[in-house]
Amino acid sequence: VPRERVADPPRRILLSALLWSVVVIMPFSFAAGKRADYIVPAYPTMALIAAWWVLDRSPWPRLWRLAVAVAAGAIAVMAVVNWIGTDQRRSTIDAMNGVAARLLEERERPHAPPLVVVDPLFMTQLSSMATTGRPADSSETSILNAIDRGEPLRIGYTREHASPAFVARLDQLEAAGRLHERWRVPLQWEHDKKVVDLEFVFDEVAGTR
């Protein structure tokens, strides 16, 4: 693209979108846990890039065809990668959707204690359903401090990813009668080409004040 054409504001935006797609999406986004964050937003980005080249009256009439082919090929590759997966990966997605649906139900409960989700990396999207409003409130330290202050809480977490100190504190609360388990959902998480069995546990802690 000639320098004077690159200087056109719409073209600068679309060139930035192209670079973002190539540098960020293509190398780093084929992992199942990142598709919702990177690959899905790539579809409109690639469509804009393809449309730009189709409508542009370039002095090189064949160049836009190459760009359209590259963009269409990228969309096709991402669609195939998004579709192909092991049975364990599909079951993980289904289970996570089930957890998300139950968390949404919990969030709608009237007069219920605040809801927090302890946030390992693969559950970032679930933690966004917490009603506390601040990501820091989903840290183990913040949750334990709130419990020590006597505040009521509803906590979603996986025991396999929680720290031993956090799990031990919750076990103490259960023994003291302040905590009861509301529900749990089995999960299979694929990590480093290995399938790990997990359980998402949802507990409610009674307040003392």
How confident is residue 174, by pLDDT bands cut at 50, 70 and 90? very high
Report the 10 Å Cβ neighbour count for 71.
23
Of the candidates 23, 42, 49, which has an alpha carbon nearest to the alpha carbon of residue 81?
A: 42
Q: Quote the mean pLDDT of the chain.
A: 72
Q: Is 1 helix (H, G, I), strand (E, B) or coil?
A: coil
The ranges assigned to domains in the chain are 3-83, 87-205
CA distances from 53 to 63, 89, 110, 190 (A): 8, 37, 52, 39
Calpha distance 60→119 (Å, rounded):
51
pLDDT of residue 58: 56
Within 10 angstroms of residue 58's Cβ, the number of other Cβ atoms is 14
Structure tokens of 98? Answer: 């089930």
Give the containing element (helix H, strand E) for 172: helix 164-175
Q: Note the pLDDT tens digit of each residue in 92-148.
A: 666 777 788 888 888 888 888 888 888 665 566 666 666 555 555 668 888 889 889
State the pLDDT at residue 204: 92
Q: How confident is the model at residue 57 (pLDDT cuts 50, 70, 90)?
A: low
Q: Say how far residue 126 (Cα) sits from the centre of its chain.
A: 7
* Burial class of residue 132 in the structure, from the number of CB atoms within 10 Å of its CB (0-12 exposed, 13-18 middle, 19+ buried): middle
What's the pLDDT at 161? 83
Q: Which tokens go with 131?
A: 């009603």
